Structure 1
Amino acid sequence: MTSTVLGPTLLVVCAVLALLAALVYRLADLGPWWVVPSASVRAAVQLAAVAVVLTAAMARLWSSLLILLVMFSVAAATAARRSRAARGSWWLAAPIALGLASVLPLLLVTDLVPLTGVALVPITGILLGGTMTAVSLAARRALDALGTGVGEVEAALSLGFLEREARLLVIRESAPDALLPSVDQARTAGLVTLPGAFVGVLLSTGSAAQAGAVQVLVLVGLLLAQSCAVAVTIELVAHGRLVRPDPARRG
């Protein structure tokens, strides 16, 4: 099936889809019409480059680990930027690393994921991407909650609460929001959506049972990785490791 997909037809269909999306942008005034075409071209170039690099890198374990190190660095930098923290955003590398560490060792020890680049890079990439998103969302929501709940924190401090406890009273309710996309994906898998790992195994001539087993493994692993990462992220904000400037103190 892969040989059938790759070809001129793919280019034509992608171009038509991008142009139709641009037309919708234009008619509905959703923004500049060139957003989708430019994003599509960028995605194609980036994925083509990544495909070439990964094909060579995944042939050896050491080069696969190097690729994973680069991926982790980009994920940590992206989470730091999305958190909009003024100080301490580099701490977000810790919950991302913990999220991976809570899942990967068990997968490797049980040999569910062989210690080869071909298996390790895709699985780690899925876990890394989901964990990065959860961490950045948890940090941003927690910092937003602190920004709007200054009075509540000060009231808790006046009642004798420690700073960590006072902040947690305000930010704890924001934590589940960061996990909601992953939880919903797990709940609706197979009913509303067919996740990427499932489709990938099917397209690689695997059976439906194999595809389902791989997808369950990925979904459950994501839930654990993201839960651990979000828990640590909330603690980092509660301990004041990540902060935003106080608007009242500017100028």
Structure 2
Amino acid sequence: MPTISVISAVHPGARDYLAEAYESLVKQELPDGWDWEWCLQEDGDTGLAERVLPPDERVRIGHGLPARAAVARTMALTRASGTLLRTFDADDVLLPGALDRDIQALGTAAWCTSAALDLLPDGSTVPGPYDPPDGPVEPGRFLAEQCADRLSVLAATFAAHTALVRALGGWPALTGAETIGLLLAAEAVAPGVFIAEPSTLYRKHSTQTTASERYWRAEESATRLDAVLARAEALREAGWQWRL
């Protein structure tokens, strides 16, 4: 059965939202013959996911030394059996049709990303301010936007062929910005598309990793972005292209 592997890192701040994330997966309607699996990796050995989630053979949970989200995502990738994968933050919500639209887009593209809505603590939602047009992404667009500190998409909506992600080495082992790093690496070696219909409610809350002041310390934040930009530039200069 063709499968799309949903990849998530789990940290304690997601505890109150993990069940809702699971329910949004269960409600996904996929093309005939398709199924999903959820590959979660706890950033540590807390046993949080087993305590919160019901038994489901499609949910594949792993544990490991705490090393932040990038390493957890790449560890989860080792359990992915699907030909396609989708990034999903464990405290977010997938909107109806999200995985179906990803699968359809990846029928002709190497990777895709999609619109998202910020989900605020009061339950209201806000659309992204800079969404690109629906359809093929102009080569180099996201790299140029990131260089200008104006990335127009939420990189946590990234979906791709699993083989492409493995060829790129998964998520870069950084303390943050790993979803941006993978997006820019994929853009450097293959064409992609943007899906204008929102796929995700991106939850804003006080316990998310990007809510801490420490996360945004200027020197470390700049170092992370320097690393993802250097990787994308090196791939682009190498001239290697990934093809379906």
Calculate the TM-score normalised by the size of structure 1: 0.29
| Larger relative helix fraction | 1
Structure showing greater Rg: 1
| Larger relative strand fraction | 2
Calculate the TM-score normalised by the size of structure 2: 0.30
